[in-house]
Amino acid sequence: MIKEVLVDNAFTKERQPDNSDVIIIDPYTGCQLQCPYCFQMNDSEWGKNIFVNINIADRVKQQLGDIDDDIYIGSKCDPYMQLEKTYRLTQQCLEVLSKCKNHVYITTKADNELILKDVPLLKSFFTPPTVLMGLSNINQVHKGMDNINIHVANELKANGIDVWCFITPILPYIMNIDGMIEGLERSVPIYFDKLRVMTGGNQDKKLLRWIDEKFPQYHNAYLKILYEADLSYYQNLYSKYKADSRFTFLTDEWGT
Ligand code: SF4
């Protein structure tokens, strides 16, 4: 269910694996993308409702003066999911942030090209935001260089917007990683991460249901990855790309 709500605070802090905190704005709370590997599924309430934080831009304007750090847009939502077409809350927040000196990062993997409408706004910033573009959108994962977010990333880059691409998580056997790399403009850095799915809860079951529905030929391979810690696919990938500084391997345990 979609619910419009008023929020008191525009900014939240999110603890990172290295114990640092980052400052987050979520124009929406809840996500329409429904990635079957989403880490938020560890929260049992996740996905039941999507909250539209309709006063978020006003709150950003009121509270921005207290924030010295970099600001990330999108943690418990994708800021360019379909609701943004209707509400434009991400756009409203960006309009406020365009007047500040904080560096802004936008995290998205929505496959609707909506962010391209905001290019003039992004270019109007003192320092344009960095777009952290995800290539693991489940509607696009098997498309190699035809993944629409590769086109979007290249378009942003051509407009002078800094873009980093994230194949996080890599979905073994399903993705055409070579094709994705080939399709991306060479100066775009690429980050890799393995599937990090907690077993015994919602995450592994939902991922396996999705595999069975869309790619049943890989059912057994994913059983091994999820329940037997089979890293062979990732080890081969690591061996292939580790020497190229364009690629960053997040987390450890990639090597053979
Ligand atoms: S885009 Fe991010 S927050 Fe949304 S469902 Fe996917 S992983 Fe979760």
Spell out the alpha helix ranges (H) of 186-231: 202-214, 219-227
So what's the pLDDT on residue 104? 98
Q: Which atom of ligand 1 is nearest to the CA of 108?
A: 1
Residues 35-54: what's their mean pLDDT? 87
Element holding 237 (H helix, E strand): helix 232-241
Q: Of 12, 35, 48, 193, which is best to mutate to test ligand 1, by the most ligand atoms within 8 angstroms of its C-beta?
A: 35
- Going from the Cα of 86 to the center of ligand 1, the distance in angstroms, rounded, reads 19
- Going from the Cα of 137 to the center of ligand 1, the distance in angstroms, rounded, reads 9
Q: What is the DSSP code string of 114-131?
A: GGGGGHHHHHTSSSPPEE
Residues 158-172: what's their mean pLDDT? 97
Share the mean pLDDT of the chain.
94
So what's the pLDDT on residue 255? 64
Q: Which atom of ligand 1 is nearest to the CA of 34?
A: 5
The whole model's pTM is what? 0.95
Tell whether ligand 1 has an atom less than 6 A from the beta carbon of residue 98.
Answer: no
Residues 3-25: what's their mean pLDDT? 93
Q: 158-172: string of b/e by CB count within 10 Å (b at 16+)?
A: eeebbbebbbbbbbb
d(CA 142, CA 122): 30
Residues 168-177: what's their mean pLDDT? 96
Identify the bridge partners of residue 132 per DSSP, sorted by sequence position.
Answer: 107, 164
Tell whether ligand 1 has an atom less than 6 A from the beta carbon of residue 197.
Answer: no
Tell whether ligand 1 has an atom less than 6 A from the beta carbon of residue 206.
Answer: no
